[in-house]
C-alpha cells in the first residue's frame, strides 16, 4: 500500500471531490466515505458526490440512518466543479457508469477493484481486481493512518462488505473477512438490522411482480426483460433475486430507463468471468464491466418501440456467448407445472 503516494497526490489541495459511481451501491458509499475521511486528515475539505439515484431501499436507509454526507450531482453540479482535487472509488474515469467529466478533468486518485482494459490516467491509481470489496481497500489506508473509525462509519463498512459479498458467500477474500471482523465491535447492530430489512415501496413490489410475470427460464439460464423501470438499480436488484433460483447458473436482466437499456448479469460460478461476457455481449453498442460473478452494462435505446427488438438481440447473443453446444430454449417460468404435492395447485392453469 502506497500511503505516501496517496498523500502526495492530494497534498496542497483545498477541496476534494470524491466521485462515487452512478446509482451508488453500499460498497461505493462506504469506500467513498472512508476516502473522504482520509482526505480530511490531509487537511482537505471533502465532498462526496454521485450521479443517478439511490435505488434500493437498503441504500436509502443506509444513507439516512448513518447520515452519510452525500450530494447529488443532479442538484448541485456547477459549484462542485470548483474543487481542486478529484478522486473516484469503486469505478474508473471513463468507465461509463459514473458522472466524472473525464474528458475535461484529470482525476487525482482512483481506488477500485474492477478489472479494466486500460489503466486510468490519474496521479494515484490503486486497482486490485482480486479484492472482493473496494471498501476493504480504502479501509486499509484509513487504518494505516491511525484514523478514528466512528460507529456510523464502522456500520457503513460492515454493511458494504456483507452486501457486496452476499454475506461473504460471493467473491469474498480473506482481507474482506478480516476487515469485517475488525470493524464489527464498533457496529451499531440495531441500525445494521434496519438497513438489512428495510420497509419497501409499493413500486418495489410492482417491479418484482412484473419481473416474475416475464422471466424466462431454461435448464441453467434465466433471462428477464422488464421493460421500462424507474431506476437502473431495479434491474440489478431483480438479477440478484433470480440468481438464487435452483439449477440456474447464469441470469441476465434488462430494463429501460429513458434513453438507455440497463443490463445486469449474474453467475453462481466463481470462475464465470461475467465482466468479459458482458463486454462481449455489448461490443461497441454499449459499455459494461463488473467482476467474475456479477456484471452490469448499458446500451442506448432511444425509444420504447426499439426495446423489444434490442431485448431479443440481447437474449440471443447472451445464450450464444455462454458457449453451450446448443443454445438453450427458454420458456416463461410461470408456464412450468409446479412440482407440488397439492394436486389442486399442480392442476391449476397459469392465467
Ligand atoms: Mn464494489
**112-163: per-residue pLDDT in tens?**
999 888 899 999 999 999 999 999 999 999 999 999 999 999 999 999 999 9
Cα 28 to middle of ligand 1, angstroms: 6
Cα of 199 vs centre of ligand 1, distance in Å, is 24
Ligand 1 centroid from CA 337, angstroms = 38
* CA neighbor of 60 nearest in space, from 166, 195, 160: 195
The whole-number pLDDT of residue 82 equals 81
CA 241 to each of CA 46, 201, 222, 329: distance values in angstroms, whole numbers, following the listed order: 36, 17, 11, 21
- pLDDT attached to residue 75: 83
Provide mean pLDDT across the span 193-199: 97
pLDDT of residue 260: 95
Q: Taking the model in full, what pTM does it have?
A: 0.90
**Which residue in 91, 22, 14 sits closest to 257, CA to CA?**
22
Range(s) for CATH 3.90.1640.10 in the chain?
Answer: 3-196
Expressed in angstroms and rounded, the spacing between residue 164 Cα and the centre of ligand 1 is 6
- How close is the Cα of 129 to the center of ligand 1, in Å? 10
Q: Which residues have CB under 8 Å from 114's CB, separation 6+?
A: 90, 91, 92, 95, 127, 129, 275, 289, 290, 291
CA of 133 to the centre of ligand 1 (A): 5
The 3-state DSSP composition of the chain as helix, strand, coil percent (nearest 5) reads: 45, 20, 35
Measure 296 CA to ligand 1 centroid, in angstroms.
12
Spatial distance between the Cα atoms of 339 and 336, rounded to a whole number of angstroms: 9
Distance 83 CA to ligand 1 centre (A): 25
* Arithmetic mean of pLDDT, 36-58: 95
pLDDT band of residue 4 (cuts 50, 70, 90) is very high
The CATH 3.10.310.40 domain(s) of the chain lie at: 202-335
pLDDT tier at 346, thresholds 50, 70, 90: low
Instruction: Report which of 98, 32, 40, 22 is spatially closest to residue 66, judged by C-alpha positions.
Output: 32
Q: 93 Cβ partners below 8 Å, 6+ apart?
A: 100, 102, 107, 110, 120, 121, 122
Q: Which residues contact 4 (CB under 8 A, 6 or more apart)?
A: none
Kindly tell me if the per-residue pLDDT of 342 is higher than 80: no
Ligand 1 mean position, distance from CA 5 (Å): 22
Q: Of the spans 21-30, 226-235, 332-341, which averages the highest pLDDT?
A: 21-30
How far, in Å, is the centroid of ligand 1 from the Cα of 27?
5
DSSP 43-86: T-EEEEEE-S---SHHHHHHHHHHT--EEEHHHHHHHHTT-SEE
**Rounded to an integer, what distance in angstroms lies between the CA atom of residue 271 and that of residue 294?**
11
Residue 21 in this model has a pLDDT that exceeds 80: yes
Residue in this structure with the C-alpha cell 391449476, named with its chain if needed: 348
Ligand 1 centroid to residue 271 C-alpha, Å:
18
Query: What spacing in Å lies between the alpha carbon of 314 and ligand 1's midpoint?
Result: 25
Judge: domain 3-196, CATH 3.90.1640.10: yes
Tens digits of per-residue pLDDT, 181-190?
999 999 999 9
Give percent of the chain with pLDDT exceeding 70: 94
Give one DSSP letter per residue of 169-224, joined into a string: TSS--HHHHHHHHHHGGG--HHHHHHHHS----HHHHHHHHHHHHH-EE-SSEEEE
Strand partners of residue 46: 16
- Please give the pLDDT value at position 123: 95
Task: Give distance in angstroms: CA of 98 to centre of ligand 1.
Answer: 13
Q: Residue 231 has what pLDDT?
A: 87
- Name the pLDDT band for 348 (thresholds 50, 70, 90): low
User: How far is ligand 1, taken at its centre, from the CA of residue 170, in Å?
Assistant: 12
Average pLDDT over residues 72-98: 87
DSSP strand pairing (107-112 vs 122-127): parallel
Question: In the structure, what pLDDT confidence band is assigned to residue 324 with cuts at 50, 70 and 90?
Answer: confident
User: Residue holding cell 416474475?
Assistant: 212
Helix (H, G, I), strand (E, B) or coil at 304: helix
- What is the 105 CA–ligand 1 centroid distance (Å)? 23
Question: What percentage of the chain exceeds 90 in pLDDT?
Answer: 83
Q: Is the pLDDT of residue 337 over 70?
A: no
Cα–ligand 1 centroid distance for 234 (angstroms): 17
Span 242-284, pLDDT tens digits: 999 999 999 999 999 999 999 999 999 988 999 999 999 999 9
Handedness of CA 254, 51, 241, 179 (dihedral sign): positive
Spacing, Cα 21 to ligand 1 middle (Å): 10
Beta carbons of 299 and 282 less than 8 angstroms apart: yes
Distance from the alpha carbon of residue 158 to the mean position of ligand 1, in angstroms: 13
pLDDT attached to residue 326: 77
Q: 202-335: what fold?
A: Diaminopimelate Epimerase; Chain A, domain 1 (3.10.310)
> Mind listing the pLDDT tens digit for each residue in 278-323?
999 999 999 998 888 999 999 999 999 999 999 999 999 999 999 8
Amino acid at each position: 500500500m502506497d500511503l505516501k503516494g496517496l498523500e502526495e497526490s492530494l497534498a496542497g489541495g483545498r477541496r476534494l471531490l470524491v466521485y462515487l459511481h452512478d446509482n451508488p451501491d453500499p460498497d461505493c458509499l462506504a469506500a467513498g466515505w472512508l476516502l473522504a475521511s482520509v482526505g480530511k486528515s490531509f487537511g482537505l475539505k471533502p465532498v462526496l458526490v454521485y450521479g443517478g439515484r439511490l435505488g434500493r431501499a437498503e441504500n436509502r436507509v443506509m444513507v439516512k440512518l448513518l447520515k452519510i454526507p452525500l450530494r447529488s450531482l443532479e442538484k448541485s453540479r456547477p459549484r462542485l466543479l470548483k474543487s481542486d482535487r478529484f478522486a473516484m472509488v469503486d469505478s474508473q474515469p471513463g468507465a461509463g457508469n459514473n458522472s466524472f467529466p473525464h474528458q475535461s478533468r484529470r482525476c487525482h486518485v482512483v481506488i477500485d477493484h474492477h478489472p479494466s482494459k486500460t489503466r486510468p490516467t490519474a496521479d494515484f491509481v490503486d486497482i486490485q481486481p482480486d479484492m472482493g470489496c473496494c471498501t476493504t481497500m480504502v479501509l486499509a489506508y484509513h487504518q494505516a493512518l491511525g484514523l478514528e473509525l466512528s460507529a456510523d462509519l464502522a456500520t457503513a463498512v460492515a454493511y458494504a462488505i456483507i452486501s457486496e459479498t452476499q454475506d461473504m458467500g460471493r467473491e469474498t477474500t480473506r482481507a474482506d473477512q478480516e476487515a469485517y471482523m475488525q470493524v464489527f465491535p464498533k457496529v451499531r447492530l440495531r441500525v445494521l438490522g434496519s438497513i438489512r430489512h428495510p420497509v419497501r415501496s409499493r413500486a418495489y413490489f410492482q417491479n418484482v411482480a412484473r419481473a416474475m410475470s416475464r422471466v424466462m427460464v431454461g435448464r441453467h439460464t434465466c433471462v428477464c426483460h422488464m421493460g421500462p423501470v424507474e431506476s437502473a438499480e431495479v434491474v440489478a436488484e431483480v438479477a440478484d433475486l433470480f440468481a438464487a433460483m435452483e439449477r440456474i447458473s447464469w441470469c441476465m436482466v434488462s430494463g429501460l430507463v429513458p434513453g438507455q437499456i440497463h443490463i445486469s448479469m449474474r453467475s453462481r460460478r466463481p470462475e464465470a468471468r461475467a465482466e468479459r461476457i458482458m463486454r462481449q455481449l455489448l461490443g461497441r453498442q454499449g459499455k459494461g464491466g463488473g467482476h467474475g460473478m456479477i456484471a452490469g452494462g448499458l446500451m442506448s435505446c432511444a425509444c420504447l418501440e426499439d426495446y423489444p427488438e434490442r431485448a431479443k438481440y440481447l437474449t440471443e447473443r447472451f445464450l450464444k456467448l455462454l458457449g453451450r453446444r446448443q443454445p438453450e430454449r427458454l420458456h416463461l417460468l410461470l408456464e412450468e407445472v409446479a412440482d407440488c404435492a397439492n394436486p389442486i395447485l399442480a392442476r391449476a392453469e397459469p392465467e
